Amino acid sequence: MATQPHLLVDEGDLTDIALIPGDPGRVDRIASHCDDAETIAQNREYKVVNASYEGRELTICSTGIGCPSAAIAIEELANVGVETFVRVGTTGALQSDIEIGDMIVATGAAKNEGTSKRYEAVEYPAVPDYDVLSALVDSAEANDEDVHVGPIASDDAYYAETDAAVDDWEAAGLLAVEMEAAAVFSLARRKGLRAGAICTVDGNLVEGTQKGTDTEDDELPEKAKNNVGRAIDLSLEAATTL
């Protein structure tokens, strides 16, 4: 098989499980929690590192922002043998009782994006694999961490999320909105692979504390930045059981 054109990896380069943050910088942060980290490739928004955590060999690969670039990552990682994907991301809360820094494990993602629609009808569910979902929840329980568990939305247009859309998502009981999970879940399901997602809340759209409204030079509020580390630990603990 030829080298993958965007990730620049070949069959046999990676492991069977990948933690997939959006931010390339978070690849290094995840790797700092691991042993034997080795950069395999870096191109565009994609940084790929192999590492080990408590004896479990794993891959860390950034997806960039949004479903189109996330879909490219899933396609090319699957092409070289990755079978399980754990999104480790950030998200904006849609319920007033969810605070900045809280963690959410997604049970499904509304397809408010265009990428998955090129693969299948919108009626087909974007849902995580049960084993990955369970591993994330079990990891939180084992570490006495509180997580919200429920459905989220994946949206394409960060700067076009209207008050009406936010009100509709809130009324539907969706916990949060982010930009990648629907494509990740849908592609993994179609390929017979496994995927799940844990995201740290970086703002609350219902309360008017969207990301960027209360920070200066940093992308994330301090509490969210700190708790991303806790989500990383939970995802790594989950990976050891998958």
Which residue range is the domain that position 201 belongs to? 17-240
Tell me the C-alpha distance between 242 and 223, whole Å. 29
Q: What pLDDT is recorded for position 1?
A: 78
For helices 130-142 and 222-239, what crossing angle results, to 10°?
120
Tell whether 100 is covered by a domain.
Answer: yes
**What pLDDT, in 10s, does the model give residues 119-149?**
999 999 999 999 999 999 999 999 999 999 9
Q: List the one residue out of 118, 123, 241, 135 whose CA is nearest residue 197.
A: 135
Residue 201 has pLDDT above 60, yes or no: yes
Which alpha helices (DSSP H) does the chain contain, by range?
24-31, 67-79, 130-142, 163-171, 181-190, 222-239
Q: What pLDDT is recorded for position 174?
A: 98
Give SS3 for 237: helix
Tell whether 12 is covered by a domain.
Answer: no
**What pLDDT, in 10s, does the model give residues 153-176?**
999 999 999 999 999 999 999 999
What is the number of domains present in the chain? 1
- Tokens describing residue 108: 């499904």
Q: Which domain CATH number covers 79?
A: 3.40.50.1580
Question: pTM value?
Answer: 0.96
Residue 42 has pLDDT above 60, yes or no: yes
